A and B are shown apart, each in its own frame.
Chain A
């Protein structure tokens, strides 16, 4: 038994390669069409698309890693946009308060989700669908139309860019980096892999599993809050209608496309960001080539299924039964 062979290409590396491939193929396709995918306007378009789904998908990654789910993020984002816009009420001075309030409210919704899942043992699918409906009812009742007023200074968050990079995308990447660091460098973050991987092993190792699950849900809620802030900045007002876009499904799609296992315990935010980017690039390519926007939904559905089928294959290969009476010890691969 000597040194270990290097591990096979990791899923994260694979998804980043896929992103590069999508960029190359997309760029070539656009070029053949007589356009330039990498023109500033198109780059801006691509990056702008990543930020909103990005926020949601980063939070979603955390809960999915814990073998949970959050179907309420679209509603949380809509609620947050309203909280932000109405609190700001056109006054730049109110921005800090509004941001704090949004993070508080969205974190509380996340905490409610986490508590229902962790303590009441309600299946996360049902639990977060339920809280989503509750929020929907509240939003529909309280807000018939757009409400609040976002001051120009905060609208900058939605529109400013440095060179071709929108500030919102930068913020999203910063949050992603923070999430990567959180998962990698803090105990709670690291324990999310254990909770999602095998909750009994986690508990036997002294991890307080409910607390970890709760944290994941709170952070997921707060990420949806950030998405809500971005919505408010873009629209200049709060909008209850935002939830009709099924953002939660986009986010879940990006997460699994990014290689995070829907059953938890494996994956990460780096993959998720790549997943978000792949979907955004596809959208942009379709946009530039003026292909019917609905074709992108078709392609998106197919891409997600294909990606997960591919991951399932890799997983099966790896867990193939280990011979119990092999003549030679199994070579670690």
Chain B
């Protein structure tokens, strides 16, 4: 009983995004009934995976009461680093991935420490980080990305397990996305996750309960850095290397998280809904494709839907809260 009720409550809180997701898929089904065959669904999920992974990372930061605007630049930086360091040599793949991981963690750590210790608003911290990464990477490569990725590096973003009955190919990206998603959901059920969301909800109450608010918030930035690293591997493999990789991704991912009902300012929303928000945005893009909507018009529709969805959610929240249970019976 309680479980059903809890599910109901969860859906109510994040209802907007699941509704949007369902509507978008329904629209896709109408426009192109053939879409729901395994290969195209798998292709959709492969394409959606990086944004979902990024949404998981951004979720941690947003739910704890901050922003991470540096993820787009970080994704771009990671891809460029990979190409330059691997330079087409297969054997370097794993070591370079480890370097990337360390870099992602380092960037998250710096973001977190500047925000919590120096008390710089995360908007500014990560905006500054965005500029630093953007400039530093181009400085390092002399403007245009150099080098080349290896086959092994491209595998997660591009290939999958082939020959699966009924489905055909299961993309690695899908499996990685599911693993990251499951990890994020499980992490939020640990003590760390509870303290993280409590810190975003009421920092003072969390502190007075003995929570290390600054530490968990910094950890959230680190998680975001790790998710950007994973997304960088997927995007690099999928789309290749260019100077533009990752540009504007930070805004798309924050939009996704907010669309999932995660409140900017923290304390409200689930990881699942945040990732569903990312999926909804990718589904919208797919729908636009199916409708043969000019690619150029997509941002406009995207923008309108985001404003409408958030305004709708804001209205729901402004409605009078349920009457508190009065004196005990």
Contacts and interface: CB of A to CB of B under 8 A. Distances in A.
Q: Do chains A and B touch in the complex (CB under 8 A)?
A: yes
Interface in A155-176: none
A88 interface: no
A126 B306 contact: yes
Given A120-B315, A141-B296, A297-B131, 10 more contacts: A71-B251, A120-B307, A129-B306, A130-B304, A134-B300, A136-B300, A249-B130, A253-B127, A295-B139, A296-B135
A248 to B, nearest CB: 10
A128 to B, nearest CB: 10
Nearest to B132: A301
Contacts, number: 147
A304 B127 contact: yes
Contact of B301 (A122, A137, A313): A137
A11 to B, nearest CB: 15
A77 to B, nearest CB: 16
Interface stretch (B36-44, B114-122, B209-217): B114-122
B128 to A, nearest CB: 4
Q: How large is the interface on B (under 10, 10 to 19, 20 to 34, 35 or more residues)?
A: 35 or more
Contacts of A262: 121, 123-124
B312 to A, nearest CB: 9
Contacts of A300: 128, 131, 135
A136 B297 CA distance: 8
A137 B307 contact: no
B134 interface: yes
Interface in A121-169: 121-123, 125-127, 129-138, 140-141
B163 interface: no
Given A123-B264, A131-B307, A137-B296, A249 B132 contact: no
A297 B128 CA distance: 9
A301 B130 contact: yes
Nearest to A298: B135
Nearest to A137: B300
Interface residues of A, number: 44
B124 A140 contact: no
Nearest to B131: A301
A262 B128 CA distance: 14
B105 interface: no
Q: Is the interface of B mostly helix, strand, loop or mixed?
A: helix
B302 interface: yes
A131 B303 CA distance: 6
Interface of A: 71, 116, 120-123, 125-127, 129-138, 140-141, 249, 252-253, 256, 262-263, 292, 294-302, 304-305, 308-309, 312-313, 316
B297 A141 contact: yes
B182 interface: no
B83 interface: no
Contacts of A136: 299-300, 303
Contacts of A304: 124, 127-128, 131
Most buried by B among A132, A252, A263, A304: A304
Nearest to A256: B124
B298 interface: yes
5 contacts: A134-B304, A253-B128, A292-B139, A299-B135, A305-B129
A309 B139 CA distance: 25
Contact of B135 (A123, A256, A294): A294
A101 B129 CA distance: 38
A133 B131 contact: no
A294 B137 CA distance: 8
Contacts of B303: 129-137
B89 interface: no
Nearest to A71: B251
A125 B314 contact: no
A141 B300 contact: yes
Contacts of A308: 120-121, 124-125
A312 B118 contact: yes
